[in-house]
Amino acid sequence: MLRMTEASIDRLKLDHQTGSLTITNTRNTDSGEYKLEITSRINSSSTDTFRSFSVTVIDVLAAEIKAKSVKEGESVTLDSGEIKTPDDVIRWYFNDLVITGDQSQICTDVQCDERFRDRLKLDHQTGSLTIMNITNTDSGEYKLKSINIFRHVRIKRFRVSVTGVALSSFTIAGISAAVLVLLVAVAALIYCDKNKKDPCANLTDNKTSSVPLVSGKGDQTQ
């Protein structure tokens, strides 16, 4: 049997209606055998029932961390990789910050709400997490911890890197218009350069250009 320290006790949550025990923020040192003892009293007699649980916490190697690269302002989805059942308990972490709590509620912590306010979307069928309008401060490690009905713990990690700034549709349209104007200007210069009579000269300098007036009667010398 495991001997729980004061730090470990702070991570335990007992459901007083069902007797179920939840261990939060599991660590390798939490692996081992857990025993539940139930004492039933009927009239003056009592009956003891025991149930044992074997828990193994598996650490995730750095090679198993999935890397995600995204530009600032875009959205990124961290895929859980499986279909979530109603009995599964899932929790997402950003570094050491809990961003989804019990019953898959998003940002129950004040610090989480301040950082990710209205920018997190949880898929309640798969457990996948989407971060919208991502910023440079969102770079870091995200961890998914899921516990199924058999109390099997599964951990999945993601390393998200936010770089640069994503171009908006208005910015792209502006750049395209500028390029188009530049191409038209270059085409006009090439046309004027190839024309021997240089008709563009009169168009570019109206102040110095002159147009001869022809009477149609021939030249007359005074």
pLDDT tens for the chain, residues 1 to 222: 445 555 567 788 888 888 888 988 887 778 888 988 888 887 777 888 888 888 877 765 555 789 999 999 999 999 988 788 888 888 999 988 899 876 668 888 888 888 898 899 999 888 899 999 999 999 999 999 888 887 778 889 999 999 876 545 555 566 666 777 777 777 777 766 666 555 555 544 544 444 455 555 555 444
Spatial distance between the Cα atoms of 55 and 33, rounded to a whole number of angstroms = 6
Task: Return the exposure string of 99-134: e unless at least 16 CB atoms fall within 10 Å of the residue's CB, then b.
Answer: bbeeebebbeeeebeebbeebbebeeeebbbebeeb
Closest CA relative to residue 126, chosen from 109, 146, 151: 146
